[in-house]
Amino acid sequence: MRDLVRETHLLKDDLIMPVFVDANIKDRKEIPSMPGVYQFSLDSILDEIKAIVDKGIKAIILFGLPDHKDEVGTSAWEDDGIVQQAIRKIKKAYPDLIVIADTCLCEYTSTGHCGVVKDGVVLNDESLTYIVKTAVSQAKAGADIIAPSNAMDGYVAAIRQGLDENDFKNLPIMSYSVKYASSFYGPFRDAANSAPEFGDRKGYQMDPANRLDALRESASDVKEGADFLMVKPSMAFLDVMREVRDRFDLPLVAYNVSGEYAMIKAASQNGWINEDQIVRETLVGMKRAGADLIITYFAKDVADRMNKGEVF
């Protein structure tokens, strides 16, 4: 009877699995702060992709760890960059898999910031030039969706223009429209080797105390041409997610971030919670708050449970 009248359902089609590809390793390497999540080499990445596809997951979001860094993040837009190589390899083997390219500079700059730094300040407009170059290079490699995560003013419009000028007019942009300056990102910075060398990212990521900011940022990205909106992190910002859902009609993505994943894993490993039940409540809560899609490190585990007949 409860199943008959349930209002919210999580489907396998809602899941997006993050994948890390690392130019500095030869096989796969587990991320200590994220049990069960790995970095993959180019040689080993197709094994992971096969596992994802075989479980019925239809989309991944790809992050890269380069073999060299510099002040402007040159390796982010190189034709033979780690993400570009991985995209081509994945799309050749699995052409129907949706490959979303995370588009940012933080993994590629020597400063660990999402843009160009001068005199200790991250330069917004100058950084957009390099973000656009990165997006275009990812598109040329075969990415299905460009997902800019640098959270700087005007980045959606700049990328849209850059893609259009390079004959990618139909390539969608998944904007990290509501991205808070959050401590929930800690384990990801281990996974992507992207911690800032100095300071923090509060100059271009939002104050977690602000709600109206989220609506203004979303409205700006919609006007600039975004095709998807996103709320990141998710668990502490479900109220914001609901407001964005109610205000805008674009597909809405929830990013169930690394710190949220790590907390559940740690508590489960200590026997303090039932992981399966907590994951169900967490992801269904994001759907109930208005998310259409969920980027989550639990995607493979959840898909396995669904394949065994469990209904979310």
**Three-state secondary structure call for residue 175:** coil
Burial (CB < 10 A; 0-12, 13-18, 19+), residue 8, is: exposed
Note the pTM of the prediction, 2 decimals.
0.93
At residue 2, the pLDDT reads 87
| Residue 184, CB-side half-sphere exposure with 13 Å CA sphere | 19
55, 89, 179, 300: the catalytic one is: 179
pLDDT, tens digit, for every residue of 117-145?
A: 887 777 778 889 999 999 999 999 999 99
pLDDT computed for residue 224 by the predictor: 96
H-helix or E-strand containing 254?
strand 252-256
Rounded CA separation 110/121 (Å):
14
Q: Is 169 a catalytic residue?
A: no
Q: Residue 293: its pLDDT value, please?
A: 98
Peptide bond into 66 cis (omega under 30): no
Q: Is the distance from CB of 231 to CB of 256 less than 8 angstroms?
A: no
> How far is it, in rounded angstroms, from Cα 219 to Cα 302?
32
User: Of these residues, 55, 69, 89, 232, which one is catalytic?
Assistant: 232
Cβ atoms of residues 293 and 253 within 8 Å: yes
Report pLDDT digits (tens) over 190-205: 776 665 555 555 666 8
Predicted pLDDT of residue 159 = 97
Nearest to 255 by CA among 54, 56, 61: 61
Q: Looking at residue 217, what is its pLDDT? A: 94
Confidence (pLDDT) at 126: 83
pLDDT of residue 120: 76
Q: What is the pLDDT of residue 237?
A: 97
Q: Give yes or no: 91 in active site.
A: no
Listed as ranges, residues in the chain with pLDDT below 50 are: none
For residue 311, with 0-12 CB atoms within 10 Å meaning exposed, 13-18 middle and 19 or more buried, which class applies? Answer: exposed
Name every residue whose Cβ is closer than 8 Å to that of residue 264 and which is 6 or more positions away in sequence.
273, 275, 278, 279, 282
